[in-house]
Structure 1
Amino acid sequence: MEFYKFDKDSGKAISKFNSNFIMSRIIQTEKVTHIGCMHLEEKGVIGYHQAVTPQLLLIMNGEGYVRGEPEEYFIIQSGDAVFWKKDEWHETKTYKGLTAIVIESEELNPSSFMPMKK
């Protein structure tokens, strides 16, 4: 399990085309990629399971906890990204609720685009 940041502070200012915004790059793929949005209500759980393919979980709002194979939980919140390799066991849960984008693909390399969370 690896932790990354995609918050505003990890982005870069874009001014091309008269633009004025911050872009936090996340991932680039050439192979088939599945992208979904997960809505976990209060006390929601994504049960303990193995990753079928490499997956990247981007926390958009709310907060929760993730764990890998050891039963040690790590807090996650808006702007955090968690990466699991194929076959890695993991679980996500929240007490207050959270919304997350999940990206699943055989070719995910988040370290090429996002800084590691410290």
Structure 2
Amino acid sequence: MEFYRFDKERGRRITKFDSDFLMSPIIQTAQGAHIGCMYLEADGLIGYHQAVSPQILLIIAGEGEVRGEANEYFKVEAGDAVFWQKDEWHETKTTNGLTGIVIESEDMKPSFLMTGSLKIPRSCN
């Protein structure tokens, strides 16, 4: 399990074509990708299971806790990204609700674009 940030502070200002916005790079894939938005309501759970492919969970609203193969939970909140390798066991849960984007693809390396974005995990145990 790897942790990253994609919040505004990690963004780069884009001014090309008279633009003015911040872009926080997340992922680039050479193969197809499955992308979905997950809505966990209060006391929601994505049960403990193995990742069917490399996947990254981008927390866009709310907060919760994640764990990998160890039984240690880490707090996640908006702007956090969690990456799991294929076959890695993991779980996500929330008390108050959480919205996230999940990207699954066989060819993903978040450290390629989010270098330097690694954050220190906030243990819940």
Interval of TM-score (by shorter of Structure 1 and Structure 2): over 0.9
Cα deviations by residue, 1:50-90 (Å, 9 ceiling, x for unpaired):
00100000000000000011110000000000000000000
Cα displacement (A) at 1:32:
1.4
1:46 corresponds in structure 2 to 46
2:101 corresponds in structure 1 to 101
2:75 corresponds in structure 1 to 75
Q: Distance in 2 between matches of 1:117 and 1:8?
A: 14
Two-structure CA RMSD over aligned residues (Å): 0.6
1:25 corresponds in structure 2 to 25
| TM-score of the aligned structures, taking structure 2 as reference length | 0.93
| TM-score of the aligned structures, taking structure 1 as reference length | 0.98
Q: Distance in 1 between matches of 2:118 and 2:2?
A: 8
| Count of residues in correspondence between the two structures | 118
Aligned-partner residue type, residue 43 of structure 2: K
Q: Distance in 1 between matches of 2:14 and 2:70?
A: 41
Cα displacement (A) at 1:92:
0.1
Q: Distance in 2 between matches of 1:13 and 1:3?
A: 23
Q: Which runs of 5+ in 1 are unaligned?
A: none
Q: Which runs of 5+ in 2 are unaligned?
A: 121-125
Cα displacement (A) at 1:117:
1.4
Runs ≥4 residues deviating over 2 A = none
Cα displacement (A) at 1:113:
0.9
1:116 corresponds in structure 2 to 118
Aligned-partner residue type, residue 60 of structure 2: M
Q: Distance in 2 between matches of 1:103 and 1:116?
A: 18
Cα displacement (A) at 1:30:
1.6
